[in-house]
Structure 1
Amino acid sequence: MKLLRHGPIGAEKPGLLHSDGSIRDLSGVVADIGGAALSDAGIAALRAVDAASLPVVAPGTRLGPCVAGTGKFICIGLNYSDHAAETGASVPPEPIIFMKATSAICGPNDPIIIPRGSVKTDWEVELAVIIGTKAKYVSEDKALDHVAGYAITNDVSERAFQTERSGQWTKGKSCDNFGQIGPWLVTRDEVADPQALAMWLTVNGEKVQNGSTRTMVYGVAHLVSYLTQFMTLHPGDVISTGTPPGVGLGMKPPRYLKPGDVVELGVEGLGQQRQDVIADPT
């Protein structure tokens, strides 16, 4: 099942992608795609709904982030061996964890906003793991039981803010519209193996990232288990699991986004995103 949220910013309604390709409104069935709706029981209840009987959402309606109520937006750094190599970094002996501000979260096709003072805004296609049930001190063999599903994220990054402004990476990762999530949450039963998904990203039609989750250093089950040794994960929390090679930072010479660029990205079975790059209008 592919769950989503549709409508204006801040007023999104729950929905799903019907087998006929239309978007159907779930607001008469569930309050939102978050909280208890992400549990196995909640998803089973949504799966039992006759999608053909639901109201059709008008084509072209904006899609919001596919999950509501995200308390933590957790990112994993240098989690692809080939990406670590392109940046000149060593593969970490344990997962690198950093937080992205939840205020960065936006819809899958909302624009990438170049922040004031930015000279190195970069792209990163990533697999997102969306937590469905509370998880604390979870073993690796039970970790995926706590996953509601998967989505695409673009972990947009301002490299100068990230690495040249002192301190931790968070300041280069948390600008407005630096966290597109969606277009939909694909429930875990539809993803046979999260470690076997092709992923790609283009800038102005040029394919710059072309990778696979096979080259993750630390797989999804390990990451979920690992994180629960340090913090409790709650329904709606998002784990962005790292990016394959092909980011602007790794190019020779480095290449970064500018207003007018168009970024498109996708992960096998999870749909795709499209973003216009604009200057901060504020």
Structure 2
Amino acid sequence: MFIQTTEQSSRYRHLEKMTVHDLLANMNTEDKTVPIAVEKAIPQIEKLVNAIADKMLAGGRLFYMGAGTSGRLGILDASEIPPTYGMPQGLIIGIIAGGEKAIQIPVENAEDSTTQGWKDLQSHFISEKDVVIGIAASGTTPYVISALDECRKHNIITGSISCNENAPISASADFPVEVIVGPEFITGSTRMKSGTAQKLVLNMISTTLMIQLGRVEDNKMVNMQLTNAKLIERGTKMLMEKAGITDAHKAKELLLKYGSVKRAMDNL
């Protein structure tokens, strides 16, 4: 039986009468439950990551699909991969119902389409080499579910991230992940605990994949792009530590010459 715990009434009443301190403390109390819920889903996450790694090592791509907050979280995670790990653009792709406009401005009824999700994937020439993860806190978003169903018809591996037990989206995924966070602090506001849970799972998926794909050495982001002064300074310190260089100016010159800690080390 499917029960949407994400839509159940908040455990807290009369929020407008709470002090600022009590509002913050109660939200924090609820937030503390999220990592515990994520921990219970680790076996599901592990299966999904292993399936994605196999495909990406063979040259495939990873797609995130969602609507509203879920879509934005997928785009956020995908957009951080190239600068953080030096991965080429287009290997991890975030798609949101309503297109780029919907990243900042809600697009009416976009999440209700049962055809547009697959069309959006086709625009990226989706194939059996790729993996698609549908993200939906409720687990009921038609835009996402219909796209996953089409993927399975075309032998494309699918995963899902939702926050309700036995969610409909799970039935459309080869590797479903369900993180049951319970009712939100504000009833139905899934940008809160559900969104936090989704962000944590996405962090775990993409970070583990990057380590598996050799983009991390020891505990360092040796392939990060040098896009600002902070990252150049961080890279300089990494190179000094890894190569035993004592002259910071020399290390910085080498770093900028080769473009990453990894390439600088390979050319020493």
TM-score range, shorter chain: under 0.3
Structure with greater proportional strand content = 1
TM-score (norm 2): 0.22
> Which of the two has greater helix per residue?
2
Larger Rg: 2
Q: TM-score normalized by structure 1?
A: 0.21
